[in-house]
Structures are given as structure tokens and as C-alpha cells.
Amino acid sequence: MSDLAGLFHTHIADRLRTAAEALAQTGFETLVISSGQVYTHFADDQDAPFHPTPHFAHWCPMAGPHHLLVVRPGQRPRLIRYAPEDFWYEQAPLGSPFWASEFEIEEAGTVEDVWKQLGTLHRAAYVGNETDRAEAAALEPNPELLTAHLDWYRTTKSPYEVQCLEEATVIAARAHQAARAAFMAGASELEIHYAYIQAAGIVDHEMPYGSIVALNEKGAILHYEGKRKEKNGAVLLIDAGAQVRGYAADITRTMAAPHCHSRFAALIAGMERIELELCELVKPKMPYGDLHHQGHLFIAALLQESGILKAAPEEAVEMGLSRPFFPHGLGHHLGIQVHDVAGRQGSPDGTPMPPPPQHPTLRTTRTIEADQVFTVEPGLYFIPMLLRPFRENGLRDKFNWALIDELTPCGGIRIEDNLLVTASGHRNLTRPHLPV
């Protein structure tokens, strides 16, 4: 493993530099970021699993709510740690984590004392969800222009962040292999999910997002959340990750059992080839939208070769015939958040860069740059509600409906890898650990 303390030192130096730039651009002297407060369900005493404010996690991997980070250009950041005495819930001591030397650390036993220790600040901005306390402290909560600058800088990953992502990938790859073995042994969705989390060594709420474990037709539901108990599926689509120090791996694989429809198994093989070809195209200065468009052309060609579409790829994409089969964007930025921020941001000041009308669901419209990390995840699905309008309009003759109906019970296909953009091309973070 790389020297985490050294990597983190450089990471914090980058954060101080970009924070100083953002503050200078927006007229603030100080940035205060909280780790956030816990969300409690309405009319209940049950809390949702806690997720820290992403911008806090960008600076510090310390777990738990109510911590405050105070950033001023030219100074070491202050970290006010909320450290209550509590017999209801475990309160782990801070110890000597690798990151601690980068901060001036103070402790407070109550939330009120955390904010009291903050003191009086002038021209200070606040990022987080404890906005009532921030306003009472005369901080400006979540100013849009400053937040846009901070979001923009998060799309460029430091070596420390890449290290975290790679460690998460190792865990997720191991778990995907266990899930594959369970599927091939005839396991149910629920049993495959159990195999995944056991191999990852985590419990459900520690996953970066709820796993998608879809057998057969459920693979055509893009964010399927069920865990059925029926066994011996013909097709498995599994979209699941892991996280390390707040950074997520996001990996999807689709596989066929021996009794899968042979033509659908051939489509899975074709999509595997397409995904790898798209990954090979990734390089700096390429608009991500161009990569997405190329994905549609590749998928349209596969649909034509398979006898599903009766149109050349260029014609099919121009007429929107590939869209019901591939209705989502090719990928998204990845980092502290699985769907990381600023994918549709045209500049640090938050200028929007919306997707083109023909690809409205595209999450990333930016130009590809070195040190970005994003997913490449083409999909091919048989979704009746999206295909229905084409059955009923003048383009119905462009489709082989008998074959579509035959393949619809197989669901869908998605293959997803995580890529780090380099100065000359890219590095696939997923394939060294999960080749197929």
C-alpha cells in the first residue's frame, strides 16, 4: 500500500490551494464545513444511516456527525471534533490516524460547545446541513457560487483519492467474484446479495449504494431494489460497489447461466466487447458526450447484427431507435459520491452545461481531463414501456418484434468499469481486479 500519510499531506495541500482560490473568487475569508447532522425519520426515533457532508469527507475521513472544519488561507485547518460522553452508542477514541497531523484538532463534548468553540468569524461561508446553527453564527450557508467552485475541484482526483478508490475496487471485485459463484450455483437474488456482502466483509448500510441484484427480467429495471428468493436464474445483472474512507467503487457485471437463451448470451458477449472498446477511446480533451454518442453507435450496430434492428447504426441513432434499448447516460463522475458532482458544470462558477436534447439523461457533459475518474457503463435493455411507442408509430417496421418479445424475459445488460484519466489516455481501475 502507498504511504497514506504522505499522499494525504499532498491531498490537503491541494485542498488548501483550491479553497484559497474559491474564497478569493467569491469574496469570503473563511470556509466552515460541517460533517453534518443525522436525519431522523418523521414521527419516529429511528435515524437514517449517517452520510457525512461530501465536502467535509473531501477534507477529512473522520466518521460521525457534528464535526466542524475551519479553513482559512495560509493557516493549518482547524478541526473541532464532536466527542460526546454517551452510553447509548459506541464512541470510539480518535487514536492516532494517519490524517490527524494535517489539522489543529480540538474537541467538544456537546454540539453547542462545538459551535461555541467556532468563535466569531467575519465574511465566512458555511457548507453543510446544520444551516440553523450556521445562520445563528452569522455564517452564510451554502453560497451557490462558492459551492460551485468546490464542486468543480472535486472532479479532479488526487493520488490519495485514487488510492482510496483502488482499495475500494479490490473489495468490490472480491465480492463480485463471490456473487458470480453464487449465481452459477443457482442462488436467489437474496442469496447472491448475502454472498456479496459476506465477501466484502461489510453490512448493508456500509455499502456506498444499495446493491442491484437482478435475475432475468428484473435486469431491465435500472435501479431494481428487490431481493427475490426464486433460484436458478438464467441471467444476472449485478451493480454493486464498496467504499474506503468515503470513496466508492461502482461496478456492474452481467452474466449468463448455461441455460440462458443463446441469443441473449451472445448479446452479453457483444456488450462486453463494446464496453472495452469504449474504455479504450477515453483520453483527455475528448468531450464525454462524444463518447456517449459512440456508445449508441456501437450498440445500434450490435442490435443490427443481432437482427433486432433493421437500420444501419448511423440511421438508427439519428432516428432515436437505439434510445429505448440504451436509455441512460454512458457514465458519471465517481468519488466521494457515487454519482459525483459537477458532471454538467461548464466552468468553476457553476455555468450549466446541459445534455443535448437527443441524450437528455447524460449525467456527464464535460470535456474529459486528466485526473478525472468516471464510469463507463453502456447498457442494452428490453423495457416494454420504452419500446411501446415504437410499436405504435410509423417506425415499427424498423424492429424485429418477434425477437424482441422472445428476449424480453431475459431483462437487460450493463457492464461498468471505473476509469482514471491520465495525461496520455486512461487507466482502468476495475479490470486488473475483475477481468470479466
| 87-105 mean pLDDT | 93
Q: Model confidence over 27-54: pLDDT tens digits?
A: 999 999 999 999 999 999 999 999 999 9
Residue 1, pLDDT above cutoff 50: no
Distances in Å between the Cα of 170 and the Cα atoms of 164, 241, 248, 432 are 10, 10, 11, 9
Tell the CATH superfamily of the 159-428 domain: Creatinase/methionine aminopeptidase superfamily (3.90.230.10)
- Residue 426 has a CB neighbour count (10 Å cut-off) of 22
* pLDDT tens profile 270-288: 999 999 999 999 999 999 9
Question: From CA 85, how far away is CA 88, in angstroms rounded?
Answer: 9
User: Average of pLDDT values for 114-121?
Assistant: 97
Structure confidence by residue, pLDDT tens digits, 289-306: 999 999 999 999 999 999
Enumerate the domain spans of the chain: 4-154, 159-428
pLDDT (0 to 100) of residue 355: 94
pTM: 0.96
3-state secondary structure of 395: coil
The string of pLDDT tens digits covering residues 165-207 is 999 999 999 999 999 999 999 999 999 999 999 999 999 999 9
Residue 189 region by backbone torsions, left for phi larger than 0, else alpha for psi between -120 and 50, else beta: alpha
The model's pLDDT over 205-253, given as tens digits with 9 standing for 90+, comes to 999 999 999 999 999 999 999 999 999 999 999 999 999 999 999 999 9
Q: In which region does residue 367 sit, left (phi positive, over 0), alpha (psi from -120 to 50) or beta (all else)?
A: beta
* Contact in structure between 357 and 320 (CB atoms under 8 Å): no
Give domain 4-154's CATH architecture: 3-Layer(aba) Sandwich (3.40)
Determine the pLDDT at residue 2. Answer: 61
